A and B are shown apart, each in its own frame.
Chain A
Amino acid sequence: DSGVTQTPKHLITATGQRVTLRCSPRSGDLSVYWYQQSLDQGLQFLIQYYNGEERAKGNILERFSAQQFPDLHSELNLSSLELGDSALYFCASSRWTGSNTEAFFGQGTRLTVV
């Protein structure tokens, strides 16, 4: 168990809909990263938050948004869903521990858009 919790584990929704994915980081981890993983694209970085503030942005679509709350949990909002958004969405959390810094991943949310 990595200590990172993602909900829900599976989500099936129709095109055009909006969903929210939730990530609870390991206790004490200030950084949260969101990733999208598909068979043909591999792991694609979406966005990073650090202590409530957006830190870095990757290839995140305008239809997608995220936030990190004061209790450090994070949500990824996906709207106007398209078939191509079907993928595994991971979040990872980390904290600075010097040269031993490590990312801990959740089990992912599998999103299927039909």
Chain B
Amino acid sequence: KNQVEQSPQSLIILEGKNCTLQCNYTVSPFSNLRWYKQDTGRGPVSLTIMTFSENTKSNGRYTATLDADTKQSSLHITASQLSDSASYICVVSAKQTGANNLFFGTGTRLTVIP
């Protein structure tokens, strides 16, 4: 069964600290994995995309990793800022002839406090 699981469900950290969010998936055949950021009251927006051949990709203070063998991804946030407070959603795309199928995690709610 194609599934995407994220952990933790929620996280509270102090401003300036680092944190790591996890995403485990069982989606097959794998096409790509995206991390989305969802600010409060807004729709999620793509942060970064990982394809099968990529291990690490950075977008400013955000660094995503992908281990295709263990089917795990992580999103590391460095030197957190108050504006990082948001939900982070992991979405995995499966290759499906004639249609794409996307599988969504339930998200991690991050709160950065001063």
Interface-located stretch among A41-49, A66-74, A77-85: A41-49
B32: chain A residues within 8 A (beta carbon): 99-101
Q: Which residues of B contact A33 (CB under 8 A)?
A: 102, 104
Expressed in whole angstroms, the Cα–Cα distance for A112 and B86 within the complex equals: 21
Q: Is the interface of A mostly helix, strand, loop or mixed?
A: strand
Which residues A88-114 have CB closer than 8 A to chain B? Answer: 88, 90, 92, 94-96, 98-103, 105-108, 110
CB of A4 within 8 A of CB of B106, answer: no
| B contact face: mostly helix, strand, loop, or mixed | strand
Q: Does B22 have its Cβ within 8 Å of any Cβ on chain A?
A: no
CB distance from B60 to the nearest CB of A (A): 19
A residues with a Cβ closer than 8 A to B are 2, 4, 30-31, 33, 35, 37, 41-45, 48, 50-51, 55-56, 88, 90, 92, 94-96, 98-103, 105-108, 110
5 contacts between A and B (CB under 8 A): A2-B43, A33-B104, A98-B31, A99-B51, A107-B42
B residues engaging A (CB < 8 A)? 9, 31-32, 34, 36, 38, 41-46, 49, 51-52, 87, 89, 91, 93, 96, 99-102, 104-107, 109
For the A-B complex with A2-B45, A4-B43, A43-B104 known, give 15 more contacts whose Cβ atoms are closer than 8 Å. A30-B99, A31-B100, A37-B107, A43-B87, A44-B106, A99-B32, A100-B49, A101-B31, A101-B93, A101-B100, A101-B102, A102-B34, A103-B46, A103-B102, A105-B45
